[in-house]
A and B are shown apart, each in its own frame.
Chain A
């Protein structure tokens, strides 16, 4: 089962994703992979990565660093960094760009993958180290993510709900959205990926204050269950 998990910052998305991924891996007795998407650029990032690794220690995750080119993870270009029993406090944080060229064993697509986060993945693909911007990144990352979901059949995608604010409108202008505004282009791009993933994922959830609201469940995709679903007090979704 592929799952899309979104919601506001610090609302419990990652914790829900970790628990669900672990349960799925245990149920099917398959490897549990953590696809880490952050490419650290400074000490603050490295400290955050160490903290996250420490939080995941003992969960059974194998960490795969992948800041770009998601499908390449299954083609044998990733290097597992948490596979060795390093102390998460002292383990060096390697830049995913170099790790990606490590040429390790391909990840087993039969495993469960937790990708945290789609947000960072798009940022890495769209805003390049040389300062240039790849405006084709949203479309490409959307295709990559959909393909990854299809290849693995059990990926949990963590994204971020960044669509609820008023700050992107330029109030001095007549038209509200400036097409050259990179923040808005990024936000529109992430929304595109979210919507594509929502179409292909079997389950879509929103996490708020640690509470999980289902927007799509596996029952929604099964025609034989439509009647059962419609019998609820609310209207069916779509």
Chain B
């Protein structure tokens, strides 16, 4: 699995789409039929609302996303949100990023449309 992360509107999807072997990009989970899945942060928000730990959900389905490219927005760098759901989501998103990065063969970050392998 290759993990791609970066801030909002940085061009993560476009970067993923030009990686070798990526022909299709799915927009949301749970859908591992495409080569890449974009918008994992939407999934973690849904998990937050439903009280599901996103990292556990992925751990339980480990075989499904092997060899995939997973794309997630890094939402960790702003002000702590006033809204309790946003606070919980921000933390759950971070926990998922750490778990996925630990499982990934490659980790890439995208900045201003430029992607770079950082691990």
Contact = CB atoms under 8 A, between A and B. Distances in A.
Given A176-B42, A191-B8, A191-B9, A164 B76 contact: yes
A234 B107 CA distance: 11
A163 B76 contact: no
B115 A165 contact: no
Interface residues on A, range: 20 to 34
B112 A194 contact: yes
Contacts of A4: 112
Contacts of B6: 163
Given A237-B116, A238-B114, A164 B9 contact: no
Nearest to B18: A238
B86 A171 contact: yes
A195 B78 contact: no
A167 interface: yes
A167 to B, nearest CB: 5
Contacts of A155: none
Contacts of B7: 161, 163-164
B112 A6 contact: yes
A78 interface: no
B77 A199 contact: no
A168 B111 contact: no
Interface in B34-75: 41-42, 45, 49, 74-75
Contacts of A163: 6-10
Contacts of B41: 176
A215 B10 CA distance: 13
A164 B112 contact: no
Contacts of A140: none
B76 A166 contact: yes
B48 to A, nearest CB: 8
Contacts of B89: 166, 169, 171
Contacts of A215: 111-112, 114, 116
A139 to B, nearest CB: 14
B86 A169 contact: yes
B90 interface: yes
Interface string A179-203: 0000000011001101101110000
Contacts of B74: 164
Contacts of B23: none
B71 to A, nearest CB: 14
A188 B117 CA distance: 24
Interface in B68-117: 74-79, 81, 83, 85-86, 89-90, 93, 106, 111-117
A206 interface: yes
A166 B86 contact: yes
B114 A171 contact: no
Nearest to B46: A174
Contacts of A188: 8-9
A198 B112 contact: yes
A215 to B, nearest CB: 5
A79 to B, nearest CB: 32
Closest 5 A/B residue pairs (Cβ): A165-B78, A164-B77, A163-B7, A191-B9, A195-B113
Interface of B: 6-11, 15, 18, 41-42, 45, 49, 74-79, 81, 83, 85-86, 89-90, 93, 106, 111-118
